[in-house]
């Protein structure tokens, strides 16, 4: 055997070994979440080395918390995480589609299809499928459109109470906020044990008042948001050891107290503090009837500032004049403490309209899962408002797969096999949904394909309760179009990236190399 032929065979073996390894890693990741998709999907139990357990049906949570060391697995998880950050839903769909695409690509390469031709076809197929999904999107006719509740119901895994909360919150914040790219309705969710479901215009600070002697409410409220500690400037021990240092310390204490009394004179009756509270500040403000909450998270401080029109300041600002202090204060109709839940609610702020979605849970064990369900439902509602809806239950993907049959005829040469890889990815969501419902995926996917072709409809899929072909729109099973589009793009990008990997080479540790150079 010639040296050139040996090198060629060795290179081919390494290429297949890399592709097999990467495909197996993606398959392992997909297997962790595929059992959760669809109305009959089940839960996954995550267990860490300390025995802590999380039981969830949320694909993103599973992907973020599962142990993954393979580079290809990490690549897929990162893409799913990006989808969750951008859209808030659809990570499971993106994951199983990416795995199916790569597995189909592996089979094609094993049969002799060149990777460059395969990638060419994947690009053509993904582009055509995306265009098909875009054309099939139905716009939402305002915030009173019944489709929004169906979207929330589907994304919220059938929890009617959470679906209604999501729609009510969308109506409360309004269309302009929902269409704002910087606005994320899911940030308004608060899940609490023992709370009742509700949506209100205002924000929650997850802290109670600093002591029980401070007032439990302020009506109306003038609010100072302090991104700092509420305490006088401190001197070091060395300075305090001198007489001059002690005089300086006493002077700072007096100046701090004067500043506090100036705040009270300005009408400040609520102060939210990022860090701690000095004893002298607690005494002065308690006597003056000011409500103070300390060690408030930056997230809560930011939301309060936006809702009330306050401007977060440092403690040095306290020395400013009354007129300057007035400019940074926030205002609200009412601030009060819910003693049962140990939280402060700020209602009717004069700044940006902000809604809070309170999701109640009976026990601490289900708080996290209820919050994850609400995140999916709320994110789906906002995505539907922005980009419309498509038939759910895998119907939209099957319709796109049918469209690719015509596209394949127009593709020259072996690139057509790349289109087949995209078709395999598009069929996978429905196949997994019906498999989770206890039906034969091969049989049901084929039935859906035939039914859609015969009736000229893109909304036909499988009713998971009966196993019969049904119209998903008539059943109210709809998904946000942006979720499906992002999932398909993500799957195609991951698939192409993995198929392009020619071999896996272990990278040297840079610090080891530096250490060796230092030794020499």
Q: Which domains does the chain have, with CATH numbers?
A: 14-138+390-499 (1.10.560.10), 142-194+362-387 (3.30.260), 199-353 (3.50.7.10)
Who contacts 514 (Cβ-Cβ below 8 Å, separation ≥6)?
none
C-alpha 277: how far from chain center: 34
Report the pLDDT value the prediction gives residue 170, as an integer from 0 to 100.
Answer: 93
Report the pLDDT value the prediction gives residue 2, as an integer from 0 to 100.
Answer: 45
- Residue 374's nearest CA partner among 361, 390, 362, 384 is 361
The pTM for the full model equals: 0.80
Report the pLDDT value the prediction gives residue 310, as an integer from 0 to 100.
Answer: 95
Report the pLDDT value the prediction gives residue 124, as an integer from 0 to 100.
Answer: 95
Mean pLDDT for each 10-residue chunk of the chain (520 residues)? 42 77 89 89 83 80 82 84 78 91 93 93 95 93 93 90 93 90 87 87 92 94 94 69 69 87 93 92 94 94 94 90 92 93 92 88 81 91 94 95 91 92 96 95 95 94 94 93 92 90 74 51
What DSSP string runs through 230-251? BSPPP--HHHHTSHHHHHHHHH
Q: Which residues pair with 190 in a beta bridge?
A: 358
Exposed e or buried b for every residue in 469-478, given b needs 16+ CB within 10 A? bbbbbebebb
State both tokens at 435: 């498999």
Please give the biggest Cα pair distance in the chain: 96
Find the Cα–Cα–Cα–Cα dihedral 189, 193, 197, 203, rounded to 10°: -40
Q: Which residues pair with 53 in a beta bridge?
A: 47
State both tokens at 87: 């859209």
Beta strand 343-349 pairing with 198-205 = antiparallel
State both tokens at 492: 């195609």
C-alpha 507: how far from chain center: 32
Report the pLDDT value the prediction gives residue 4, as an integer from 0 to 100.
Answer: 38
Angle of the 441-455 helix axis to the 395-410 helix axis, nearest 10: 70
């Amino acid at each position: 055997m010639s040296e050139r032929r040996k090198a060629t065979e060795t290179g081919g073996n390494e290429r297949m070994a890399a592709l097999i390894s990467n495909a197996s890693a993606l398959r392992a990741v997909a297997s962790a979440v595929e059992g959760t998709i669809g109305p009959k999907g089940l839960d996954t139990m995550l267990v860490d080395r300390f025995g802590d357990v999380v039981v969830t049906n949320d694909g993103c949570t599973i992907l973020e918390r599962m142990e993954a060391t393979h580079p290809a697995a990490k690549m897929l998880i990162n893409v799913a995480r990006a989808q969750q950050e951008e859209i808030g839903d659809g990570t499971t769909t993106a994951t199983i589609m990416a795995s199916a695409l790569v597995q189909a690509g592996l089979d094609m390469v094993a049969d002799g299809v060149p990777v460059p031709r395969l990638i060419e076809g994947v690009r053509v197929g993904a582009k055509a499928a995306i265009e098909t999904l875009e054309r099939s999107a139905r716009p939402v006719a305002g915030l009173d459109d019944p489709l929004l509740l169906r979207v929330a119901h589907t994304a919220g895994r059938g929890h009617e109470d959470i679906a209604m909360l999501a729609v009510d919150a969308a109506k409360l914040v309004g269309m302009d906020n929902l269409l704002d790219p910087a606005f994320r309705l899911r940030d308004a969710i608060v899940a609490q044990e023992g709370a009742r479901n509700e949506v209100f215009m205002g924000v929650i600070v997850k802290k109670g008042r600093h002591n029980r002697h401070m007032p439990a409410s302020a009506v109306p409220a003038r609010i100072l948001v302090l991104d700092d500690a509420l305490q006088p400037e401190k001197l070091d021990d060395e300075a305090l050891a001198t007489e001059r240092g002690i005089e300086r310390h006493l002077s700072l204490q007096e100046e701090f107290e004067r500043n506090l009394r100036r705040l009270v004179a300005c009408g400040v009756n609520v102060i939210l503090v990022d860090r701690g509270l000095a004893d002298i500040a607690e005494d002065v403000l308690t006597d003056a009837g000011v409500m103070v909450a300390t060690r408030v998270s930056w997230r809560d401080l930011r939301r309060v500032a936006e809702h009330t029109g306050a401007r977060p300041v440092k403690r040095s600002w306290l020395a400013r004049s009354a007129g300057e202090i007035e400019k940074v204060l926030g205002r609200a109709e009412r601030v009060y403490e819910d003693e049962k839940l140990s939280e402060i609610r700020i209602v009717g702020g004069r700044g940006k309209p902000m809604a809070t979605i309170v999701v109640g849970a009976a026990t601490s064990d289900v708080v996290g899962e209820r919050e994850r369900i609400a995140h999916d439902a709320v994110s789906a509602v906002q995505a539907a408002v922005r980009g419309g809806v498509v038939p759910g239950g895998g119907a939209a993907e099957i319709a796109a797969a049918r469209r690719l049959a015509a596209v394949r005829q127009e593709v020259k040469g072996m690139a057509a096999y790349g289109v087949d890889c995209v078709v395999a990815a598009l069929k996978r969501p429905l196949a997994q949904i019906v498999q989770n419902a206890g039906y034969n995926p091969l049989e049901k996917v084929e039935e859906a394909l035939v039914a859609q072709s015969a009736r000229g409809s893109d909304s036909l899929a499988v009713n998971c309760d009966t196993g019969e072909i049904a119209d998903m729109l008539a059943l109210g099973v709809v998904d946000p179009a942006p979720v499906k589009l992002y999932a398909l793009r993500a799957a195609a990008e991951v698939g192409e990236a993995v198929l392009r990997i020619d071999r896996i080479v272990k990278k040297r540790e840079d610090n080891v190399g530096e250490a060796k150079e230092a030794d020499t």
